[in-house]
């Protein structure tokens, strides 16, 4: 049993001596994720780690109520206030149109005083209504403005109550009337910032798992070569003259490729999460289950390639073909949902399609843990299929 680990360790040592391994498993997928990411939508200028939506803020009022509003907005989890006293409302409008800001809030002069007098002075908001980001921003600004308004009215009522004992109806009506007119007004514009953030997010949530899966198969270029070398250099024969059994050798190779690819997945998932902002770790258990079964499946495929290939050149060809076929068919390049029903069905012949489903259910579609169970089971099924095929081919080729 322990020989399986010895063999796996030996394989990993051999693989680590080959620069190509790192090239295929890490450098290429990262490179291609960026490349495809650009092709799908490009990147915003901001690359700081603050993922809140940038919202311009211009105050033409210096009342203390306005300062309260500003502080409420500044504490938000979803928007980040961009303040520059030198910008006019006209500049802000342009920034939103250019996509440098997701929206802009302009507090008009007299806002604070009006709030205290229970008059309605609306906040002006420049944004592209109807987008997802807008919904988020709108809710946030509305909440802040309403809290200020509500607080002011309550305070006024309390004041009046002390003076003359105001009837309940009056207080109630006053409070309710605050909602008659929403305290903000939207100035519509077409914002690129909103489009970009959402598109970029979607594009990477697709290309990141796509490239990860594709280049995991590319990693078989070197991994399968180790097995081919094992056979052609007669070391396999020699292993069989020791007490090592054939199944130990097979499992050892399998374990080595599995560890290699699972590590690759882990590194790329962490990279995707923290650098590309693809939310793999929303459900870490689910993502890792998909990674685990995808690694099982691809290592079994690697084993099969290593056993079918007669030469190292063949090992390369045999790895490249499934890489392109499985990745292309499985929607690693163009999402399968952009294609027709028939193609989607055919695409799911490729294990990559299941891997994509699994990862995207978590990082793009926001589904729950149970959504990765079927994709993971499908991947595990492919793993068993490839493994059995490999075992069968090996015994067929060795028995004379």
Partner 1 sequence: MINVPAIAVLGLHKSFGGNQAVQGVNFEVKQGEIFSLLGPNGAGKTTTISMLSCLLRPDEGDAHVMGHSIRSDPTGVKSVLGVVPQDLALYEDLTARENLSFWGKMYGLRGSKLKLRVDEVLEVIGLRDRANERVNKYSGGMKRRVNIGVALLHKPKVIYMDEPTVGIDPQSRRNILDSVVALKNEGMTVLYTTHYMEEAQELSDHVAIMDHGKLIACGTHEELVKLVGQQTRIDLTLNGDSENVMGAWKNIDGVSRVSSEDGLVSVLVKDSNQILPHLFEAAAQLSIRITSVDIREPNLEALFLHLTGRALRD
Does 6 participate in binding partner 1 (rule CB under 8 A)?
yes
Q: What's the min distance (Å) between Cβ of 237 and partner 1? A: 6
Q: Which is nearer to partner 1, 20 or 282 (CB)?
A: 20
CB of 10 to partner 1, least distance (A): 5
- Is residue 222 within 8 Å of residue 158, measured between CB atoms? no
Instruction: Indicate the residue among 20 and 365 with the shorter CB distance to partner 1.
Output: 20
Neighbours of 69 (CB within 10 A): 26
Residue of 230, 258, 259 whose CA lies nearest to 244: 230
Residue 145, CA distances (Å) to 70, 155, 179, 264, 374 in order: 10, 15, 11, 48, 46
Minimum separation from the CB atom of position 238 to partner 1 (A):
4
CB 324 within 8 A of CB 352: no
- Return the SS3 of 277: coil
Q: Which is nearer to partner 1, 234 or 341 (CB)?
A: 234
How distant, in Å, are the alpha carbons of 41, 56, 391 from that of 134? 19, 13, 56
Query: Within positions 284 to 303, which residues make up the interface with partner 1, using CB under 8 A?
Result: none
Tell me how far apart the alpha carbons of residues 245 and 266 are, in angstroms, rounded to a whole number: 31
CB-CB neighbours of 95 under 10 Å: 22
- Nearest residue (CB) to partner 1, 9 versus 349: 9
Q: Answer yes or no whether residue 312 interacts with partner 1 by CB under 8 A.
A: no
Min CB(13)–partner 1 separation in Å: 6
Which residues are paired to 184 by β-bridges? 123
**Considering beta carbons, is residue 6 or 71 the nearer one to partner 1?**
6
Contact pick of 3, 70, 195, 277 for partner 1 (by CB under 8 A): 3
* CB closer to partner 1 out of 71 and 398: 398
Report 244-283 residues binding partner 1 (CB under 8 A).
244
| Distance of alpha carbon 385 from alpha carbon 391, whole angstroms | 10
Task: In whole angstroms, give the CA distance from residue 328 to residue 336.
Answer: 10
Helix intervals (H) in 275-372: 284-308, 312-329, 341-347, 351-363
How near is the Cβ of 304 to partner 1 at its closest, in Å? 22
Q: What part of residues 61-90 is at the interface with partner 1 (CB under 8 A)?
A: none
Binding letters toward partner 1, positions 225-244, x by CB under 8 A: ----x---xxx-xxxxxxxx
Which tokens sit at 256?
């080595």
Q: Provide, rounded to whole angstroms, the least separation between the CB of residue 202 and partner 1.
A: 43
Nearer to partner 1, 125 or 226 (CB): 226
Say if CB 101 and CB 119 are below 8 A apart.
no
Within positions 9 to 38, which residues make up the interface with partner 1, using CB under 8 A? 10, 13-14, 17-18
Residues engaged in binding partner 1 (CB under 8 A): 2-3, 6, 10, 13-14, 17-18, 229, 233-235, 237-244, 400
């Amino acid at each position: 049993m322990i020989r399986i680990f010895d063999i796996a360790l030996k394989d990993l040592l051999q693989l680590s001596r080959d620069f190509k391994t790192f090239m295929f498993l890490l450098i290429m997928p990262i490179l291609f994720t960026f490349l495809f990411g650009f092709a799908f939508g490009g990147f915003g200028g901001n690359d700081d780690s603050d993922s809140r939506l940038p919202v311009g803020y211009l105050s033409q009022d210096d009342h203390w109520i306005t300062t309260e509003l500003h502080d409420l907005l500044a504490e938000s989890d979803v928007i980040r206030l961009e303040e520059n006293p030198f910008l006019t409302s006209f500049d802000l409008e342009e920034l939103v149109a250019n996509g440098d800001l997701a929206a802009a809030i302009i507090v008009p002069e007299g806002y604070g005083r009006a709030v205290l007098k229970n008059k309605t002075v609306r906040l002006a908001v420049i944004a592209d209504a109807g987008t997802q980001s807008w919904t988020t921003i709108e809710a946030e600004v509305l909440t802040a403005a309403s809290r200020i308004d509500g607080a002011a009215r309550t305070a006024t009522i309390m004041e009046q109550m002390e003076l003359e004992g105001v009837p309940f109806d009056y207080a109630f009506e006053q409070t309710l009337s605050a909602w008659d007119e929403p305290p903000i007004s939207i100035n519509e514009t077409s914002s690129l910032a909103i489009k970009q953030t959402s598109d970029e997010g979607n594009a990477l949530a697709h290309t990141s798992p796509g490239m990860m899966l594709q280049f995991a198969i590319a990693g078989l270029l070197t991994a399968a070569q180790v097995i081919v070398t094992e056979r052609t250099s007669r070391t396999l024969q020699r292993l069989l003259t020791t007490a090592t059994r054939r199944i130990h050798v097979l499992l050892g190779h399998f374990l080595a490729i599995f560890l290699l690819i699972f590590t690759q997945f882990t590194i790329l998932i962490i990279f995707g999460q923290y650098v590309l902002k693809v939310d793999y770790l929303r459900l870490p258990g689910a993502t890792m289950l998909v990674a685990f079964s995808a690694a099982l499946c691809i290592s079994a495929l690697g084993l099969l390639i290593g056993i079918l290939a007669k030469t190292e050149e063949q090992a390369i060809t045999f790895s490249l073909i499934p890489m392109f076929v499985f990745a292309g068919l499985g929607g690693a390049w163009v999402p399968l949902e952009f294609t027709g029903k028939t193609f989607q069905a055919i695409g799911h012949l490729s294990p990559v399609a299941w891997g994509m489903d699994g990862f995207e259910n978590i990082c793009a579609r926001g589904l729950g843990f149970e959504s990765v169970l079927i994709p993971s089971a499908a991947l595990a099924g492919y793993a068993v299929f490839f493994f059995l095929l490999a075992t069968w081919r090996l015994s067929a080729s060795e028995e004379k």
